Structure 1
């Protein structure tokens, strides 16, 4: 787990973010150029390492009801990606959103592809539709229950 200071250094490497101290030694980081009313990218970064990044509506994240994802256990790479995705989402309109395709595999070597299509999350085995889900979190929960893990950088 990254320390508070390491997380702070990573977050402060984004010059477009503005630091604002809040209660109980916590720190928020705002993206003032946001196209939306929401400007907080990092919320309640605490000296114990806990904190949140705003990812509401960003495909690929299992956000809570407030649109936040916890970064307590995030690696440097994960934290950088999450912050960059948050800034990108707050700086572009919905029309610029990109389609998502994720590759998943299990220990037996079986591969599935999760794709967002017309508001649904479809799971494919080759060209065959295996299942369809109403939201990303439901699809990921199913994949994890079936012992699949996301494969990074897989090109089919």
Structure 2
């Protein structure tokens, strides 16, 4: 009986409503800055509590445009919300080449609204909406013990 209760509680705890968080989105092209001449790029997060970072292996110079964001689901859709990890926000460089920007550090837990701009494909979701701020997600943090 105890195991059955725990298994019913897990989806509730994984829902976005059970976690506090800040809304974020892929960085706007104008907010991404190249650092030095090594092909490294940074951008501030919306919350100001972290940084996007990326390195281009195939080019240098200013960012030209947004390509897509990729999200990896870590569970099923619960009340329209999917919990997982934002793998990358991809961009094209103006003079050729590609750039992948990563949100904070690998493994940061986020959630997205299933559907809308996020299109499912197997256990990943893709956002290809070129509008600034379209690929939104919510960073999740554990509720404080109080």
Tell me the TM-score normalized by structure 2. Answer: 0.31
- Asked which structure has the greater RCO (Cα within 8 Å, sep 6+), the reply is 2
Taking structure 1 as the reference length, the TM-score comes to: 0.29
Query: Normalized per residue, which structure has more helix?
Result: 1
